[in-house]
């Protein structure tokens, strides 16, 4: 059996509000094998990005991992020193951030930013790093890469900036790539190009990818397994084909219902009624119960148990009931 490249056990992340620590991630478990692509999906505020930032130990001020273990190649990242983490970030774990315009330094050229990232982890001189930077821009499909090295982030389109972010993330051939909503705010054509690029990087370099998205269509396109989060907790996980064919959690099923279809159906597009609960104000029982269309009285009284059906897990009393999407 292949050893996990990344393994997360019982991860809890909280933010301090006065004397209170409010949980935004609650007991997340996650596994990624070498070369595997795992999707992490859910609505905004479900805890996806906080899970990713916890892995990189880049949580915003006030945020902290309160318990749990994050193991990369068998080593707990929580026990690494700051200098050890700096060596891991970029060289072994790369990250594509949601908004490349804010993630890239607006006052430094694209070429300089790539050079700095490369030289931070590889013993290359200025000229060699510049050549490598040009090769990376060509790899991610940016035309006239030599000229683009002299450009500043604001001089590039959103799609090109995202490609630069991908080039930065893979500049030192990491084993794991965390892609946090890499197609946000891109039009469908550029979105498709970015997805093709990620798939090519996975195929050619054997990089494992944690693909974070709220778009289940994109998840189905690239991922082998999917983990669904709601209100900071994993509510379902399993093989992508099994989950799309027989979603076990009502939240997953309703997310699938919201995917636009081209089968000629007319009328309003389905939506999930209500809103996710606020941080620190979770309802009793199952957090999804107020929005669930098959909830029972016990769902609002007690948090449901973890149920397994073959290799598919769902945190729901009615996980064994298959409801058509």
- Residue range 188-244, pLDDT digits in tens: 888 888 899 999 999 988 999 999 998 888 999 999 999 999 999 999 999 999 999
pLDDT band at 114 (very low <50, low <70, confident <90, very high): very high
Residue 288, pLDDT score: 95
* CA proximity to 115, closest of 142, 84, 137: 137
Paired tokens of 198: 């990620």
Paired tokens of 5: 């490249």
Residue with tokens 């630069």: 164
pLDDT band at 10 (very low <50, low <70, confident <90, very high): very high
Residue 90, pLDDT score: 87
CATH number of the structural domain 6-92+174-260+270-315: 3.40.50.300
Residue 263, pLDDT score: 62
Mean pLDDT of 177-187: 88
d(CA 88, CA 218): 28
d(CA 90, CA 80): 15
Paired tokens of 253: 């099923």
d(CA 226, CA 185): 23
Residue 325, pLDDT score: 61
d(CA 71, CA 76): 4
* pLDDT greater than 60 at residue 318: yes
Mean pLDDT of 114-122: 92
Model's pTM, two decimal places? 0.93
Burial-class residue 217 by CB neighbours within 10 Å (0-12, 13-18, 19+).
exposed
Question: Containing H/E element for 316?
Answer: none
- DSSP class per residue in 211-229: EEES-HHHHHHH-SEEEEE
> How confident is the model over 251-263, as pLDDT tens digits?
999 999 887 766 6
* pLDDT greater than 80 at residue 324: no
pLDDT band at 179 (very low <50, low <70, confident <90, very high): very high
């Amino acid at each position: 059996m292949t050893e996990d490249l990344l393994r997360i056990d019982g991860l809890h992340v909280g933010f301090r509000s006065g004397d209170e620590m409010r949980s935004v991630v609650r007991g997340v478990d996650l596994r990624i094998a070498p070369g595997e692509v795992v999707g992490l999906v859910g609505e905004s505020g479900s805890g996806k990005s906080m899970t990713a930032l916890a892995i990189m130990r880049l949580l915003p001020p006030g945020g902290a991992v309160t318990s749990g273990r994050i193991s990369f190649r068998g080593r707990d990242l929580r026990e690494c020193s700051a200098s050890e983490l700096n060596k891991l970030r970029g060289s072994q774990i790369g990250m594509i951030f949601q908004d490349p315009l804010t993630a890239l330094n607006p006052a430094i050229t694209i070429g300089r930013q790539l050079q700095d990232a490369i030289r931070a982890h590889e013993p290359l001189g200025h000229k060699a790093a510049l050549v490598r930077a040009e090769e990376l821009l060509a790899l991610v499909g940016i035309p006239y890469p030599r000229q683009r090295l002299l450009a500043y982030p604001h001089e590039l389109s959103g799609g090109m900036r995202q490609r630069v972010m991908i080039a930065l993330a893979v500049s030192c051939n990491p084993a794991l790539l965390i892609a946090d909503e890499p197609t946000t705010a891109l039009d469908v054509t550029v979105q498709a190009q970015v997805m093709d690029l990620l798939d090519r990087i996975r195929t050619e370099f054997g990089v494992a990818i944690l693909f974070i998205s709220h778009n289940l269509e994109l998840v189905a396109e690239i991922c082998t397994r999917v983990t669904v989060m709601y209100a900071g907790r994993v509510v379902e996980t399993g093989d992508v084909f099994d989950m799309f064919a027989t979603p076990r959690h009502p939240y997953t099923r309703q997310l699938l219902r919201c995917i636009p279809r081209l089968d000629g159906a007319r009328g309003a597009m389905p939506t999930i009624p209500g809103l996710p609960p606020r941080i620190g104000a979770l309802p009793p029982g199952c957090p999804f119960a107020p929005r669930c269309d098959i909830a029972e009285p016990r769902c609002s009284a007690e948090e449901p148990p973890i149920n397994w059906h073959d290799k598919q897990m769902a945190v729901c009393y009615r996980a064994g009931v298959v409801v058509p999407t």
